[in-house]
Structure 1
């Protein structure tokens, strides 16, 4: 695995996640200025993921058709980042709920347009045998964005909310430009064997054709994997979205301090994600995800058993390690199940359909549960959803073993 391309892909993913993590941390608190229902806040926060469901598969298919060109997917990424930075930076300047919603929708729409495309860069610059390991380094980079987001919350939010939102927006634009300068212009893309010939039949198929083939897959493994992605991504998004209000309501923290609760978990993720990536090559992707779910569930139970700041930090560290096993393996597993490398951008978009659908509904479902049971029981409510997710991946592992494929260990 060549280190150079991986470093610049990591930087590109870091650039986009720098805004998304701060968005998830602070926009719920911004909405609480106008809304009191946790379920309604969760529903609005999930809206950006619904837009991802609508936008990303189509944009992924568009990027597949451009991937073979001289500039590849980069024009779509750079233009999207420049546009998305504007509504994001304007969020703290709004003085009414309608204006806030306009900025939220504007950011979510434009940022989702290039989010999946950025993640597909891994398949453009890294050969299949090293993608799981590359994902480990990429997810380590993502965890650093949580660290950055937490530090901005701790050091800047309580002093200047406007500056706190401006920092990730500017950082995103600058880092994408740097990544393109070193990766898009200086490194050659991985040449897939079946793309060395430019016969018409080697072109990327239309989105509808890809979806039909996936649905008709007799093994059902891809659809079941997408169901598991829906559950796990939704559960993680719900926990992240409602964590800041939980910190203020249950732990008695300030908004800035509550926004920094995720910092120790991000550090735990950063420490564990690369070893998990290497271990997954021996355990198999589906088995590694199941083990991660067990750790995730244990973390939720710890958080519920002892509702204080210290134990909440420990609980979030366990949850972050458990989520790392999913984050490293899920997308690569779906790529490995894809019928051709010509559709990897589209499959990244379909992965987003599953994850974004979960992220759209997860915060609302957990929010409704909190409305019914109270903020004190948020971790227990999340543990119920985690148990359902564990069941889904258990079924997937059994079916995968029954089908006698070797993709799990690839």
Structure 2
């Protein structure tokens, strides 16, 4: 809940804070993306490292104990850095993101550590439900604090992150039942070498299914993270909304995700992760394509409430996003078996955060070149491409599964 609260507020308002120094949406997007570069390089290795360590605090908690308090402190400092200078803001921002990187994969890997494979979709639905609560608090609550004083929401979110650390420290099972066996060698260099070796396996023919699924996640996260990072810019600069109203409007997307996260997880358990993701990837671009049409609709029907229509579209879009996102991580966690949970957790974040590097700059450039509505057109295209990649990956996995079965007598 707290992680989603922090990331939602950061992604919604950091581009607006950067707007005080940089006018170009492409450059603002590039700054947002470059901040994630080191995180992309480190998260998979840290995920694999946490599979192999053996301490009195267990496998995941040491990383949480280092990263979470530092992240909380530097998140609180972001608005103060912005009041000093651009480079002070960037320095604080990078330290915050690096601290988040340290514990990101280990804290997410706690769920499969404690959950059998057949229950992971519904468990991830619960996780996403709590994340949705965090996003709602962020966009409906912290956005109002932003109007009073820009530092208040950062302070509140940072303190909640510290409280979360204390709760985890005293409640996490040090020896969870589904975490797999601890490897005999745990030196960082060996883990790094193992990770690089395993990544190379993804380009081999027998791993085509896993690779295409990860590529699908990369592509649709370009569409999602680009909209998440630049929606408030679109709303403030193109629709002339107040900053807090833009954040509140985006909150309807998160509200729908919150309400539908657990049902989507249950549906994934019943009908399968891949079919639910495919349906979501088909529907999502339809809703994004309708958003730029609203100003045109208003010219013909001026009595309509544009903000309300936008909120309705985002609410429905949040439901379809739940079909995609709730299934994605359990699907990836299942790809490598329980001894590779941390590694594939790292890969999930490698591909999703690699998208976070390029998405804001690419979609921001589209906005610079083709005006603000290009944000949603570009995002819709990414979901269509992701659907193709997911279907291709699922076919490869079916072929590999058929080839591995013993012949029938």
Query: Is the TM-score greater than 0.5?
Result: yes
Range with greater deviation from structure 2 (161-170 or 60-69): 60-69
Structure 1 residue aligned with 2:129: 140
Could you list the runs of 5+ residues in structure 2 that have no partner in the other structure?
296-305, 404-409
- 1:338-372 Cα deviation digits (max 9, x unpaired): 1x422211111111111111111111111111111
Range with greater deviation from structure 2 (247-256 or 311-320): 311-320
Distance 1:28 1:67, change over 3 A: farther
For these two proteins, the number of residue pairs brought into alignment is 388
Distance 1:227 1:92, change over 3 A: same
Distance in 2 between the 1:378 and 1:53 partners? 24
- TM superposition shift of 1:257: 1.1
Range with greater deviation from structure 2 (267-276 or 27-36): 267-276
Structure 2 residue aligned with 1:88: 75
Structure 1 residue aligned with 2:228: 240
- Candidates 353, 356, 363, aligned match of 1:356: 353
Distance in 1 between the 2:154 and 2:183 partners? 48
- Candidates 115, 119, 125, aligned match of 2:114: 125
Range with greater deviation from structure 2 (156-165 or 43-52): 43-52
Distance in 1 between the 2:151 and 2:168 partners? 26
- TM superposition shift of 1:254: 0.8
Could you list the runs of 5+ residues in structure 1 that have no partner in the other structure?
1-13
Query: Residue 295 of structure 1 contacts residue 321 of structure 1 at CA under 8 Å; is this kept in 2?
Result: no
2:4 is the counterpart of 1:31 = no
Q: Secondary structure at the match of 2:23?
A: coil
Structure 1 residue aligned with 2:242: 254
TM-score w.r.t. structure 1 length? 0.88
Query: Residue 53 of structure 2 contacts residue 186 of structure 2 at CA under 8 Å; is this kept in 1?
Result: no
Structure 2 residue aligned with 1:270: 258
Distance in 2 between the 1:58 and 1:153 partners? 33
Distance in 1 between the 2:20 and 2:136 partners? 25
Structure 1 residue aligned with 2:382: 385
RMSD, matched Cα: 2.4
Distance in 2 between the 1:67 and 1:379 partners? 46
Distance 1:403 1:318, change over 3 A: farther
- 1:272-321 Cα deviation digits (max 9, x unpaired): 11111111123221121110112211210221221432222122223222
- 1:49-94 Cα deviation digits (max 9, x unpaired): 3222111011112211126755331121022011111221111112
- TM superposition shift of 1:217: 5.3
- Candidates 327, 330, 333, aligned match of 2:331: 333
TM-score w.r.t. structure 2 length? 0.88
